[in-house]
Amino acid sequence: MTQPHTYLAALAAGSGKLVLVERPVPEPSYGQVRIRVEACGVCHSDSATVEPEKVEGASARVPGHEVVGRIEALGEGVEGWALGQRVGVGFLAGEDGTCPSCRQGDIVNCMKPVITGMTVDGGYAEIMIAEARGLVRVPDDLDAAEAAPLLCAGLTTFNALRNAGARPGDVVAVHGLGGLGHLAVQFANSMGFYTVAIARGADKAPLASDLGAHRYIDAKAENVTEVLRSLGGAKVVLATAPTGRGMSEIVPGLSPRGKLVVVAIANEPITLNAIDLVFGGRAVVGALTGTVADNEQTLAFAQQRKIRPLIETFPLDQAQTAYDRMLRGDVRFRAVLVMKPTHLGATS
């Protein structure tokens, strides 16, 4: 079967709209590869590309930064990668190497990063061009649709938890039981923490237990701070629910030297009482994704511990439906676009 000369992609047309278009297959430039996409997660961060009104003269962008596929073309200067190799691309897909953060070895906080689906085209497409330095090795026996959300939601929660300073046996709470939270509970349990899940509604208790939570706190019926204090306080609370008020109310439930680690971006501010910080030495910190090595370690840990996202899959031509449902919080719990090997325009 000959390779098709065109491919399908869902472009952000502005104001929350996606449009399916046919494009000529591109060739990778120096240091790049071309990926035949197998699956791409639909993440809330994609709204930064899809929601704004289209600026006059601006080129449309393909969203998507949870990409799994296989390399089908290598650009000049690419070493260490092979045709047919299974790879992934996450949110951070390259760094400038010259900014102060990069020069100090902190490439995650690069000031001019390559961001998949935002500064370059992402994975809502059958084909994607990626920087070789931003590639993640993905095991062949890991399902593409399940692997895709691990490249962003998985990496974000895994890295935040393992770098938060908690030790096995410590109380670690996950605030929120959605796309990020349902993975965070699995990771926290597998890391040996006494895992507490916090959400609203008694109906979520069975799910929290199934995911590995040792204790579920129904924020509608219980005082979260009091429950956490009855457990000795949380060494870490991972905030995965985008509510500034909810994050604010949890801080007094931290143990002395405890941390609120924020990975969800809320529309309203987090408000703090200085007494809760000073007396007890508590801290509020943010956490942002990780390196390609961190991503490979996330996949390895998830595979070893049988941690998987709960997903709903959609074909590429239903990208609008998948995106709209994600934005409404109507997906349990991650939406994933799954591509066909070729589209109807392919010739054999």
**pLDDT for the residue 218:** 98
**Is residue 75 very low, low, confident or very high in pLDDT (cuts 50, 70, 90)?**
very high
Task: Find the helix packing angle between 155-162 and 292-304, rounded to 10°.
Answer: 90
- Whether the model pTM is above 0.75: yes
CA nearest to 8, candidates 337, 279, 294 = 337
Give residue 2's pLDDT band: very low, low, confident or very high (50, 70, 90): low
Write down all domains in the chain, each with its CATH number in brackets: 6-151+310-338 (3.90.180.10), 164-286 (3.40.50.720)
At 54 the pLDDT is: 72
Cα–Cα distance for residue pair 328/342, rounded to 1 Å:
30
Give the per-residue pLDDT at 340: 77
Q: Are 148 and 68 in contact (CB under 8 A)?
A: yes
Q: Which pLDDT band holds residue 56 (cuts at 50, 70, 90)?
A: low
Closest CA to 38 of 133, 151, 165: 151
146 SS3 class: helix
Ramachandran area for residue 343 (φ above 0: left; ψ -120 to 50: alpha; else beta): beta
Over pLDDT 70: what percentage of the chain?
96
The pLDDT value given to residue 342: 42
Res 46 pLDDT > 60 = yes
For 110-124, what is the mean pLDDT? 97
* Strand pairing category for 194-199 and 215-218: parallel
| Mean pLDDT across the chain | 94
pLDDT tens digits, residue range 307-318? 999 999 999 999
Q: 108-117, 158-167, 182-191, 335-344: which has the minimum mean pLDDT?
A: 335-344
The whole-number pLDDT of residue 298 equals: 98
Q: In this predicted structure, what is the pLDDT of residue 4? A: 80
How many Å apart are CA 177 and CA 85, to the nearest integer?
A: 34
Q: What is the pLDDT of residue 224?
A: 97
- Secondary structure element (H or E) that encloses residue 162, with its range: helix 155-162
Beta strands of the chain (E only): which ranges?
6-14, 17-24, 32-42, 67-74, 86-89, 127-131, 135-137, 171-175, 194-199, 215-218, 234-239, 254-262, 283-286, 311-315, 334-338
Q: Is the pLDDT of residue 57 over 90?
A: no
The SS3 of residue 137 is strand
